Structure 1
Amino acid sequence: MSDVDALQTALAAEHAAVWVFGALGGRTSASATPDLFGSVSASYDDHLDRRDDLSDAIVEAGGTPVAAEPAYELPTLDTPAQVEAVALRTERSCATTYAWLTGRTSGAWRRWAIEALNRTAVRELAFRGTPEMFPGSDEYADR
């Protein structure tokens, strides 16, 4: 698998994360749940930046970035707890993708993937996640 193929996989995950966090932002309130709103907004911005980085890198390498799906499935989002649970699940999914990406890239892109994994693992904490020894690697979690 080439670096570009690996970046395409990460880009597909970021398309989903941007869409999900955009939807979650519409289900939070800066006045009623300011901490949750701030965390969702920060996640949205970070995923948007990473999506753009990946798209730019793929174009620079001569590829065509994979397109986003028209929509992604979401569960019911009636309460702040439901929004928080979906945000945590999304961050964990991204952590898994970035852990995978570190093993399939080298050099600058591996460093980029490690940084993305670290940022995602830290952001999980804002959504009531727990610190893990090996974030994004479920088989080694909490050992």
Structure 2
Amino acid sequence: MSELDALQTALAGEHAAVHVYGALGGRTSASATPALFEAVSAAYTAHRARRDLLTAAVIDAEGEPVAAAPAYEVPRLESPRDVERAARELERSCAATYAYLVASTAGAPRRLAIGALNDAAVRELAFRGTPETFPGLDEYTDR
């Protein structure tokens, strides 16, 4: 897979993350669960920014940025615990996508991917994730 293909894959993942975090934000409450609301809001903002950086990276690589899908599957969200679990799983998935991007790129795109991988791993912890020695690489997981 080419560097451009890897960038497009990461961009598609960010489109999905932005959509899902929008749904998660709609299921949290600033008054009932302020810490969760703040974490979801911060993650939404971070993923929007990362999506925009990836769009620029794809254009810099002379590609046409992949468009967002018309819809994404959103997990069942009946409680704050469901929101937290969905966010944790989403960040774990983003970490895996960025680990792949790290392995598939060099230079500036790789630096972007390393920063995004670190951010996803830290955000996963905000949603009660488990620290991992090599986030995004299931075969080396500490679980």
Query: Is this a same-fold pair by TM over 0.5?
Result: yes
What letter matches 1:102 in structure 2? V
Point out the more displaced range, 60-69 or 110-119: 60-69
Give % identity: 67
Counterpart amino acid of residue 2 in structure 2? S
Deviation per CA, 1:83-123, whole angstroms, max 9, x where unpaired?
00100010000000000110000011111111110011011
TM-score by length of 1: 0.96
The aligned residue for residue 45 of structure 2 is 45
Partner of 2:8: 8
Asked if residue 82 in structure 1 is aligned to residue 105 in structure 2, the reply is no
The residue number in structure 1 matching 2:129 is 129
CA apart distance, 1:60:
2.7
Mapped to 2, the partners of 1:118 and 1:61 lie a distance apart of 23
**Where does structure 1 differ by over 3 angstroms across 4 or more consecutive aligned residues?**
none
Give, in whole Å, the separation in 2 of the partners of 1:96 and 1:64.
Answer: 23
CA distance in 1, matches of 2:52, 2:71: 19
* CA deviation vs aligned residue, 1:113-139 (integer Å, no higher than 9, x gap): 111100110110110001000000011
The CA deviation at 1:5 is: 1.4
Alignment of 1:71 onto 2:45: no
SS of the aligned residue for 1:71 comes to coil
Structure 1 unaligned segments of length 5 or more: list them: none
- Determine the structure 1 residue equivalent to 2:97: 97
Q: Deviations over 1:38-57 (max 9, x none)?
A: 00011101110010011112
Q: Alignment partner of 1:96: what SS?
A: helix
Paired with 2:57 and 2:117, the residues of 1 have a C-alpha distance of 18
CA deviation after TM superposition for structure 1 residue 62, in Å: 2.2
Give the TM-score normalised by structure 2. 0.96
Supply the AA of the counterpart residue of 1:85. Answer: R
Which deviates the most, 88-97 or 53-62? 53-62
RMSD: 1.0
Secondary structure of the structure 2 residue equivalent to 1:134: coil
| 1:59 counterpart residue number | 59
Aligned to 1:108: 108
